[in-house]
Structure 1
Amino acid sequence: MPKENPPTYSEYLQMNDDIKYEVIDGYIYNMSPSPSVKHQRIGVKISTEFDNYLRKKSCDVISEIDVSLEGVTDTTKMKDWVRPDISIICDKDKMKENYIAGAPDLIVEILSKSTAKADKMIKFNRYQDAGVKEYWIVDPAHEAVDVYLLKDGHFVHDGTYTNEETVRVGIFDNLFIDLNNIFV
């Protein structure tokens, strides 16, 4: 929903903790209510795969955290933020107390009826423009993952993978995720 004067991130932090939303180009996207059980289970399973791989490495996996793609660190001036389902961050300086300041290296969005359009169009373009190196769009209904890799400033579709396939994670040399373990 559009709003003439959306709150800054600082104002958002002072609001009711039960209200979760994103602000993109002055438009408010309500993230409530919570996603479905299937959505949440898929998110946990993907996060676990990344977390197991990233132990004792320099990158971290973080679920459902606010992200200032532009890297704004003054929350009173932050006017846009997104809340990806899963983010992989390899630059620890981007991690602030309540949010990430700058583009994550990899973002995973898990589709739901209320977020599919934003995930496939609006966020797709924002993530591309911000320099996210890899973007996954997970479709729980069809048990498929579309993988996009950033090449010369544009996302290139690396492939659509189904529940019987294995995905090679583009930002890591030796990480492969068996989707049969995700869509169970």
Structure 2
Amino acid sequence: MAQTQIQPGLSTYADYRTWPNERRDELIDGMAYAMAPAPSVNHQRMVLSIAAQARTALQGKPCQPFIAPVDVLFPRMNELDDAVQTVLQPDVFVVCDPSKIEPHAIRGAPDWVVEVLSPGSASRDHIAKRRIYEAAGVREYWLVHPEEHLLMIYRLEQGVYGKPDVQELTGATKVGILPEVVIQWDETPDAWTDAQGTE
């Protein structure tokens, strides 16, 4: 998804909630970034395939999968929701602590996050979002590169992400922190080819 800073100065979640519904934005350290109006068709195929497999595997278990757009707030310490300056919308994520699930948003780090990359989003997902997820304690972070047919997996160890585990998008990949979730990359083969456009 192509992201561009949309307004000067720092914004909070209170500001964010007053913006028109047709806008899709993320906040990173108070800076607002507009997201493209709609992801590509192939991007959504990938997202839905991953989410559907996770949902099936987690049915009846306490961990719950979600897909964008859902606001995920990353507060500093005991910061009130309205004061939060970092709000992201991960493509796919799983929350295992039900206390983080609020009526309007998720408050705090998900356990597993997946971002499906496009040319417009790759640098932000690799750098800014990885920093946020690491600092917040996201236990496992997947970056899916559809054009390169690659998967990069970051695992939190002693509070930091080490070098990513890089794999091809073939066969199956088990989620390390959720071993019951196994993503079959050949479930929807059309989703992994000809990924064009921006998120």
Q: 1:61 aligns with which of 41, 62, 65?
A: 65
Q: Matches of 1:55 and 1:73 in 2, distance apart?
A: 32
Unaligned runs of 5+ in 1: none
Aligned to 1:70: 75
* Cα 1:182–1:73 shift into 2, 3 Å: farther
In the alignment of these two chains, the number of paired residues is 184
For 1:25, the aligned partner's letter is D
Correspondences of 1:168-183 after superposition (within 5 Å):
168-183=174-189
TM-score for the superposition, normalised by structure 1:
0.91
- For 1:133, the equivalent position in structure 2 comes to 139
SS in structure 2 of the partner of residue 180 of structure 1: coil
User: Cα–Cα, structure 1 residues 182 and 98, in superposed 2: closer, same or farther, change >3 Å?
Assistant: farther
Matches within 5 A, 1:98-117: 98-117=104-123
**Counterpart residue number, 1:118:** 124
The structure whose RCO (Cα within 8 Å, separation 6+) is larger is: 2
**Structure 1 match to 2:41:** 37
Aligned to 1:163: 169
Q: Residues 3 and 17 of structure 1: is their aligned pair in 2 closer, same or farther, counting only changes over 3 Å?
A: closer
Q: Cα offset for 1:35?
A: 1.1
Q: Are 1:67 and 1:99, in contact at CA under 8 Å, matched by a contact in 2?
A: yes
Determine whether 1:142 maps to 2:161.
Answer: no
Runs of 4+ displaced beyond 4 Å: none
Match of 1:12 in 2: 16
Structure 2 gap ranges (5+): 191-199
Q: Distance in 2 between matches of 1:105 and 1:164?
A: 24
Q: Which moved more, 1:4-13 or 1:51-60?
A: 4-13
Identity %: 30
Q: CA deviation at 1:114?
A: 1.4
Counterparts of 2:118 and 2:23, CA distance in 1: 18
Residue 139 of structure 1: how far off its partner (Å): 0.9
Report how far residue 20 of structure 1 moved.
0.8
